[in-house]
Structure 1
Amino acid sequence: MLLSLIRKEIVLGVLSLRFAVTFVLFFVLTLVSVFTMTRGYERSLRLHEVSAARHHEQVRSVLEAEEPDEAMHDILFGGSGFYGDRAPRPTSIFVKGLEDRLPTHVNVSLWQVRPVDDDRYRNPLFRLFASPDYAYIANIVISLLALLFVFDAVCGEKERGTLKILLANRVPRDLVLLGKWIGGYLSLAAPLAAALFAAFTYVVLTGSVQVDADFLSRFLWIAGVSLLYVSVFFALGMLISTLTHKASTALLVSLFVWICWILVIPNLAPVAARLAVAVPTLQKIEAEKAAVDRETEIGVQRVGRNMLGYGREAEEMTDEIERQGQARKDRIDQYYRDRLRRQVDLSRNLARASPSASFVLAASDLSGTGVDLFTAFNTAVRRYGEEFSEHWWEWDEEYHDNNGDMPDDGWLQVDQWPALRMERARLDTVVDAVLFDVLLLVVFNVLFFLLSYLFFLRYDVT
């Protein structure tokens, strides 16, 4: 009997106008999104390769100059410094996340480590009318289509009188509801799966991305989470349909719930977290570090005046004062990072009251463009600056110990020069991290279906 009910729902769904509209929208939106995002990725990759080659040649020109020391000093003290480049993530084709929000270059010199973006060279309309990725389409459009696909599954049949006839034949209500859920969801999931397969085929055929095991696994996980996310809104639509007795009422309630869950809760969560966990501004942090530098400088000057001629002892005291000052600045930076991490964690937890947030967080983490990308970038920038500073002082010490000459021709190599290296988490580690959001989507699914079942048991079909 259950198979007959499922077959009935599939036939009714496939032959309906909404199925045709949904099928076309899924295909058009997904393929257009992947097409535009693929073109954007190819452009970003070309720019990265050109920029990396140019900056690599800058390092080579310094090391191969007739006077490398002079060339080095010209760049570090009077020039633009050296650059590190961040490569785009291939999976940003499907979920761009924070990919286009982070700088593409990092400028490093003796005075500072400064992220540099090339947005000023781009068409400003790209910011006003950003290309939607697949995650955006699934989060906004497909979730709405899922609700519109099922909002009248129960109340609509009641208005047509077919539900009363079906239950008059002593068909169990639990089988009726289960058949509607399985058959209706398969009718909705099939077009989405077909659109995803077509999009992946396009990516493979264009050769824009090297499709390896990691890329394929991440895509399959994103597709699986998408199908699970759609099932949440399908189950929610079933619940709304069992709570109402008119299709028009169910439609209004569905739109209201969709607006709250998609637009209101995820956007209010960061605001609430910002009020609950205050994070000092960067200007305040820099002002505090500047105050520490002034105190350190005063201490060094005091040692120089009071211990003039003490030689080694004065030098040791000066080094100790500078180490203490650096330790204070490190504590200030650590305090800022801790407060920011607490605010981000609270924002994520508050936003998870909506399945939309769980889907976005899981999809972006699986693609490697989520919050972890922001953390990895900041870590890479900090490590890049430390490695460059260490490399420079080592070179400077060797240079002066060798009486102003390079130690030997092969002492400095281009491939040994510090570079901006961003570590990417292994897929199994990412899966462990997103498992909580995936389980939340499963809980939403089960909860909505159980509530639908409880209300449908008492549903008046007359």
Structure 2
Amino acid sequence: MLLTLIRREIVGNVLSFRFLVTFLLFFGLVLVSVFIMTTDYQARRSAYEASLVSHRAALSKIDAAGDANQQADDLFMNKGIYGDRSPDDLGVFVDGLAPAIPTQVHTALFNARTIDEQRYRNPVLALFDSPDFGYIVNIVVSLLALMFVFDAICGEKERGTLKIALANSVPRDSIVLGKWIGGFVSLASPFIVAIATGIGYVHLSGAISFDGQSLTRLAWIVGVSLLYISLFFTLGLLISTLTHRASTALIISLFVWICWILVIPNLAPVIARIAYPVPSAQKIAAEKQAINQETQIMLQRISQQTLSYGAEGQRLQEEITQEGEARQEKLDRFYREEFATQTSVSKTLSRLSPAASYRYATTELAGTGISTFIAFRQAHERFEEEFDEYAESINDQRNRQGRLPDGWFEADQLPQFQMISPRLDDTISQLSVDLLLLVVYNVLFFMGAYLFFLRYDVT
């Protein structure tokens, strides 16, 4: 009986105009998205490779300088070194925070550059979200899933077919289960075909060489997307069992979709900023500058009295310098902790919407999520610290010997900017809460649809 109901549901859906529209939308949106994002990825890859060549050429100019001490001055004081971040391969499918993370960083002992990449980007692109696969599933496919099933029960009641089926002693549990399985298979099949075609296009274009790690992560992204689609499909089935007219079910479905997709994810960060305000980065920088100025004034006073203080004066200078650095570090730590608290509250509130859980999961799997942003910041700090230590060791050598030996400069020995990517197992563990929420939503919605349909009035 169940197989017959599933087959009937699939055949009815496939032969409907709704299925044709869904199939064409899936294919059109996914292929257009993949084409646009692949072209953008290739442009970013070309820019990355050109940046590497340019930065190597700058180091070659330093190496070409004849005087060893001049090489050190150029490297540490004037030009510094750059670090480049390669484009994320799976950003073709889920762009995430990739546009907000700089593609290159610069460090030097003095006058380190803050690279503003926004001035070189198309300003129109900043007005709209990237049309990646994750965006399409999150916004468009979730709505299509609701539209696909909103009248599955109430629509049949209006047409009178549901009453006929129950009059023939068809079990109610078989009807609701058959509608869920048959309907979801009808919806998931064109989606899988469309994404498989998109992946094939990316592979044939040669933009990305998929390895085992990338394919595994991509499979997880597709799996989470199917789980997310099933959530909205099950929600639509639940709404259909709670209403008796298709028009009412449609209005409720649209209202729930607007709240979950548009309102809650965008409102959560605003509430978090109000409840847990964080001082601006400019204010923190101003306070650090004030601490630095205060430290310099105190050092000048001590230096003017060095003759009277002697060794004691040198000790006081070191204590004042260490105290100033400790105060600045305390300020940085306060900012990081407050910012982390605000971010955590934002994520918790936004998880009231499954759209947020889906975005968190897919961006982390694609390597374009919050973890990547944190990894970039840590890599940048590590890059600067290693450069400072390297410069200090070279300057100590120069002070001891009076000058540096010829041939001391080797570009390969310079600190490198390296981001540490988390392992897939660690990523899955990190996403356990979001994945569990998607599963729980699915189970609760199906249980609700099942229980309400058992008492559904078909007259």
TM-score normalised by structure 1 residue count: 0.96
Cα RMSD after superposing both structures:
1.5
Shift of 1:40: 0.6
Number of positions where the alignment pairs a residue of Structure 1 with one of Structure 2: 459
Structure 2 unaligned segments of length 5 or more: list them.
none
2:456 is equivalent to residue 459 of structure 1? yes
Q: Distance in 2 between matches of 1:363 and 1:112?
A: 38
- Of 406, 419, 424 in structure 2, the residue corresponding to residue 422 of structure 1 is 419
2:433 is equivalent to residue 436 of structure 1? yes
**Residue 144 of structure 1: aligned partner:** 143
Show the 5 A alignment for 1:273-288: 273-288=272-287
Shift of 1:128: 3.4
**Residue 377 of structure 1: aligned partner:** 376
Higher mean alpha-carbon deviation, 137-146 vs 205-214, is at: 205-214
Higher mean alpha-carbon deviation, 229-238 vs 48-57, is at: 48-57
**Residue 42 of structure 1: aligned partner:** 42
**Residue 405 of structure 2: aligned partner:** 407
Show the 5 A alignment for 1:16-165: 16-74=16-74, 76-77=76-77, 79-111=78-110, 113-129=112-128, 131-165=130-164
Shift of 1:311: 4.1
User: 1:268 is aligned with what amino acid?
Assistant: L
Do the aligned residues in 1 keep the contact of 2:101 with 2:373 (CA within 8 Å)?
A: yes
Partner of 1:83, secondary structure, is strand
Shift of 1:107: 2.0
Shift of 1:291: 1.8
Do the aligned residues in 2 keep the contact of 1:113 with 1:385 (CA within 8 Å)?
A: no
User: 1:353 is aligned with what amino acid?
Assistant: L
Q: Distance in 2 between matches of 1:133 and 1:68?
A: 50
User: 1:46 is aligned with what amino acid?
Assistant: S
Do the aligned residues in 2 keep the contact of 1:107 with 1:113 (CA within 8 Å)?
A: yes
2:4 is equivalent to residue 4 of structure 1? yes
Partner of 2:251, secondary structure, is helix
User: 2:431 is aligned with what amino acid?
Assistant: V
Do the aligned residues in 2 keep the contact of 1:157 with 1:163 (CA within 8 Å)?
A: yes
Q: Could you list the per-position Cα deviations for residues 81-129 of structure 1 after superposition, in whole angstroms to 9, with x for gaps in the alignment? A: 4322111110100000000112222121213555413332233333335
Partner of 1:308, secondary structure, is helix
Do the aligned residues in 2 keep the contact of 1:104 with 1:117 (CA within 8 Å)?
A: no
Do the aligned residues in 2 keep the contact of 1:6 with 1:183 (CA within 8 Å)?
A: yes
Higher mean alpha-carbon deviation, 356-365 vs 413-422, is at: 413-422
**Residue 323 of structure 2: aligned partner:** 324
**Residue 258 of structure 1: aligned partner:** 257
Partner of 1:339, secondary structure, is helix
**Residue 237 of structure 1: aligned partner:** 236
Q: Could you list the per-position Cα deviations for residues 181-216 of structure 1 after superposition, in whole angstroms to 9, with x for gaps in the alignment? A: 011000000111111111111111111112101110
1:220–1:459 CA distance, 2 compared to 1 (3 A): same
TM-score normalised by structure 2 residue count: 0.97
**Residue 442 of structure 2: aligned partner:** 445
Partner of 1:235, secondary structure, is helix
Partner of 1:106, secondary structure, is strand
Q: Distance in 1 between matches of 2:106 and 2:215?
A: 34
Q: Distance in 2 between matches of 1:435 and 1:139?
A: 19
1:182–1:366 CA distance, 2 compared to 1 (3 A): same
Shift of 1:161: 0.2
Higher mean alpha-carbon deviation, 108-117 vs 55-64, is at: 108-117
Q: Distance in 2 between matches of 1:182 and 1:287?
A: 60
**Residue 206 of structure 1: aligned partner:** 205
Q: Distance in 2 between matches of 1:129 and 1:274?
A: 23
Do the aligned residues in 1 keep the contact of 2:383 with 2:416 (CA within 8 Å)?
A: yes
Do the aligned residues in 2 keep the contact of 1:103 with 1:115 (CA within 8 Å)?
A: no
Q: Distance in 2 between matches of 1:394 and 1:10?
A: 72
**Residue 336 of structure 2: aligned partner:** 337
Q: Distance in 1 between matches of 2:241 and 2:71?
A: 76
Structure 1 unaligned segments of length 5 or more: list them.
none
Q: Distance in 2 between matches of 1:453 and 1:169?
A: 20
Show the 5 A alignment for 1:213-224: 213-224=212-223
Higher mean alpha-carbon deviation, 36-45 vs 297-306, is at: 297-306
Shift of 1:299: 2.2
Shift of 1:74: 4.1
Shift of 1:355: 0.6
**Residue 190 of structure 2: aligned partner:** 191
Question: Percent identity between the aligned chains?
Answer: 52
**Residue 294 of structure 2: aligned partner:** 295
Do the aligned residues in 1 keep the contact of 2:80 with 2:112 (CA within 8 Å)?
A: no
User: 1:397 is aligned with what amino acid?
Assistant: D
Q: Could you list the per-position Cα deviations for residues 282-305 of structure 1 after superposition, in whole angstroms to 9, with x for gaps in the alignment? A: 121112111211221122123223
Q: Distance in 2 between matches of 1:97 and 1:114?
A: 26
Q: Could you list the per-position Cα deviations for residues 260-288 of structure 1 after superposition, in whole angstroms to 9, with x for gaps in the alignment? A: 00000000000011111111111211121
Q: Distance in 1 between matches of 2:374 and 2:439?
A: 28
Q: Distance in 1 between matches of 2:121 and 2:336?
A: 31
